[in-house]
Structure 1
Amino acid sequence: MTAIVQNLVTSGVFELDGGTWDVDNNVWIIGDDTEVIVLDAAHDADAIADVVGDRTVRAIVCTHAHNDHVNAAPELAQRTGAPILLHPADRVVWDLTHPERAPDGDLADGQRITVAGTDLTVLHTPGHAPGAICLHSPDLGVLFTGDTLFRGGPGATGRSYSDYPTIVKSIRERLFSLPDDTIVRTGHGEGTTIGAEKAASSGWPEA
């Protein structure tokens, strides 16, 4: 059985560099009737746990460690027993939110995470954050991009630990090589496709 993808939108506050912004986050739950992974445990552990139900959570995967993507991760991990996985380059960002609680495991470029018989491959895509990753599932034809790529272009790079030329390089070299019909599921807002964003990328500012 191929995994299915569920979307939960949670709301809260993004905090960085002394600023605060109200945000809605996409939480992605990928799996079947018995097991799932949770991608980006944002804001509301209760709401995420309600959607998961009695299914086993194999991992809580973080696309990056900005607080609005990880603030519910420790509580969800405590409730489910699932490990929190983060790319080690983002530990400096993680520690801004959870200095007292380390992630449980590292994500690495090329690593495969399997749930419900479906493989998802980790793609290290720095730029929005140094340890930002995307998850690609050829079987599902889906790419989960966190805040690396949105409908309309790259994620924000105007704050600490981010860099515009780096995110553009990540997108062009790692993501635009995927099939054009790949569905992009983002960290905020509506989805898109690789083909649509590739076609629009000629209008991006120079890196």
Structure 2
Amino acid sequence: MINDPWFTVQQIDSRTFAISEYGHWEKVHSFLLLGVERAMLIDSGLGIDNIKRITDQLTPLPVEVFTTHVHVDHIGSHGEFDKVYVHERDREWLENGISGLPITQIRKDIGRDITKPTPKSFHPSTYQPFQGKPSGLLEDQQRIPLGNRVITVLHTPGHSPGHVCFFDETNGYLFTGDLLYDTTPIYAFYPSTSPEDLIASLEKITMINGVNSIFGSHHTLGLPISILEEIKLAITHLRKNNLVKFGTGIHKFQGFSIQF
């Protein structure tokens, strides 16, 4: 569909696209959902290259960015769009950066283990995460109408204070951001969140009716629905054994793992 040196575009259906950055060790996915009069971009990637170049090719509709959470690998191209939205509890990070996370660490992480050629404009030593004011704030259970589909916002703290998932009610797609993915462990961002928050949020997504497909923001594109049942078993195990606290290590389950 689109042959791009940095981004890989994969079509989920005729009006839903994954825009992936497989050339970076984090294997980040952003998602473009087309409506009738506007389009919704879930996150804007690493910022190594400009994701707007891709969205411009996929739709003539105005694109608004809805943020799962304000870690740098999800807000990289926010500055390219006129409207960006974030949950209230992540607003401070969007406007002023993440307290306690030095720019030297961010630049080290953004520049390592890259396997594809990067644009000439990208220099890890001068990489600067996006900072700015959001156009609006997201709330739990807020419904976002796109015309031909309705998206529900689910506040799911744990990985970040203002982390949200998005549920496309019309198609049954659940976009889990960094609350749920495979290959590397899911974790609570210390010290701003808690293991208890993460487990409560995982439990929350298991209670959604009508989920047909699950899309995390890293690694494998598309997770099996059976993972929701495995989450229930994992929660029971972790709570029963008093493991829901920092320092208990990595806990492996079928299809995912959790690190505290």
TM-score (norm 2): 0.65
Residue 70 (structure 1) aligned with residue 81 (structure 2): no
> Is the CA contact 2:45–2:51 (under 8 Å) kept in the aligned structure 1?
no
Q: Greater shift after overlay, 193-202 or 35-44?
A: 193-202
SS at match of 1:23: coil
Q: Greater shift after overlay, 42-51 or 130-139?
A: 42-51
| Structure label with greater radius of gyration | 2
Residue 192 (structure 1) aligned with residue 223 (structure 2): yes
SS at match of 1:192: coil
CA distance in 2, matches of 1:152, 1:138: 27
Residue 9 (structure 1) aligned with residue 20 (structure 2): yes
Pairwise mapping of residues 1-207 of structure 1 onto structure 2 (< 5 A)?
4-10=15-21, 22-31=25-34, 35-44=38-47, 46-53=50-57, 54-74=59-79, 76-77=80-81, 81=82, 83-94=83-94, 95-96=96-97, 97-99=129-131, 101-151=132-182, 155-172=186-203, 174-179=204-209, 181-190=211-220, 191-203=222-234, 205=238, 206-207=243-244
Q: What percent identity do the matched residue pairs reach?
A: 21
Q: Tell me the amino acid that sits aligned with residue 157 of structure 2.
A: P
> Is the CA contact 1:36–1:55 (under 8 Å) kept in the aligned structure 2?
no
> Is the CA contact 2:66–2:85 (under 8 Å) kept in the aligned structure 1?
yes
> Is the CA contact 2:183–2:219 (under 8 Å) kept in the aligned structure 1?
no
RMSD value, Cα: 2.7
Give the number of aligned pairs. 191
> Is the CA contact 1:61–1:86 (under 8 Å) kept in the aligned structure 2?
yes
TM-score (norm 1): 0.80
* CA deviation vs aligned residue, 1:8-65 (integer Å, no higher than 9, x gap): 112687xxxxxxxx42210100015864111100124634432333522341000000
Q: Tell me the amino acid that sits aligned with residue 208 of structure 2.
A: L
Runs of 5+ consecutive residues of structure 2 not aligned to the other structure: 1-12, 98-128, 245-260
Q: Greater shift after overlay, 58-67 or 41-50?
A: 41-50
> Is the CA contact 1:151–1:197 (under 8 Å) kept in the aligned structure 2?
no
Query: 1:12/1:194 Cα in 2 relative to 1: closer, same or farther (>3 Å)?
Result: same
> Is the CA contact 1:26–1:187 (under 8 Å) kept in the aligned structure 2?
yes
Runs of 5+ consecutive residues of structure 1 not aligned to the other structure: 14-21
SS at match of 1:60: strand
